[in-house]
């Protein structure tokens, strides 16, 4: 039974990587039309929770936002600081949504990582972060991003 579950997760990861590579490639063909900064954290013991806040800069205007999300098969605690580029943003309202992994994430030396996230509006974020603490995530997870009013 465990082998079957492992095969399922590996197949899901392969599909995510394949589809995500196309999303990342198409975003890289266009210029970023926004930037963001973010700070927050995550804590987990089986089921994880991520929280934080940031600022989206779009058309020389700043829009504060919040982030929260759940993940499964997480272990650890980490604080996160990061920045990113935003692609395919047609209006500030399209930035809000539920983001999932849109490409392969990579961990860099010194606790840094890069990831691509995409929401239901086709907005793609290339996020560069640094973390402090230990965190192990064995499954894809999503986060909810909401502009503050």
Q: What are phi and psi of 143, to 5 degrees?
A: -135, 150
Number of domains in the chain: 1
Q: Of 91, 89, 146, nearest to 118 (Cα)?
A: 89
What's residue 149's pLDDT?
78
Distance between first and last Cα of the chain: 48
Beta strands in the chain (DSSP E): 34-58, 61-87, 97-101, 106-108, 112-118, 124-137, 143-147
What's residue 32's pLDDT?
95
For residue range 10-48, what is the model confidence (pLDDT) as tens digits?
333 334 444 444 444 444 557 999 999 999 887 777 667
Give 8's pLDDT tier (boundaries 50, 70, 90).
very low
For residue range 83-106, what is the model confidence (pLDDT) as tens digits?
999 999 999 999 999 998 876 555
Domain region containing 103: 2-147
What's residue 26's pLDDT?
47
What's residue 10's pLDDT?
33
Q: How far apart are CA 107 and CA 129, in angstroms?
A: 9
For residue range 39-78, what is the model confidence (pLDDT) as tens digits?
988 777 766 778 899 999 999 999 999 998 876 656 677 7
pTM higher than 0.75 for the full model?
no
């Amino acid at each position: 039974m465990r082998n079957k579950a492992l095969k399922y997760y590996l197949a899901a990861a392969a599909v995510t990587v394949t589809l995500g590579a196309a999303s990342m490639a198409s975003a890289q063909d266009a210029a970023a039309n926004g930037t963001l900064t973010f700070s927050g954290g995550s804590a987990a013991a089986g089921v994880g929770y991520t929280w934080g806040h940031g600022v989206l800069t779009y058309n020389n205007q700043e829009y504060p936002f919040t982030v929260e999300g759940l993940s499964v098969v997480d272990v650890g605690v980490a604080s996160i600081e990061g920045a990113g580029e935003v692609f395919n943003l047609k209006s500030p309202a399209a930035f809000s949504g539920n983001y999932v992994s849109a490409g392969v994430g990579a961990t860099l030396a010194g606790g840094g990582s890069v990831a691509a996230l995409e929401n239901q509006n086709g907005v793609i974020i290339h996020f560069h972060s640094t973390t402090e603490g230990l965190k192990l995530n064995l499954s894809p997870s999503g986060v909810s991003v909401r502009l503050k009013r």
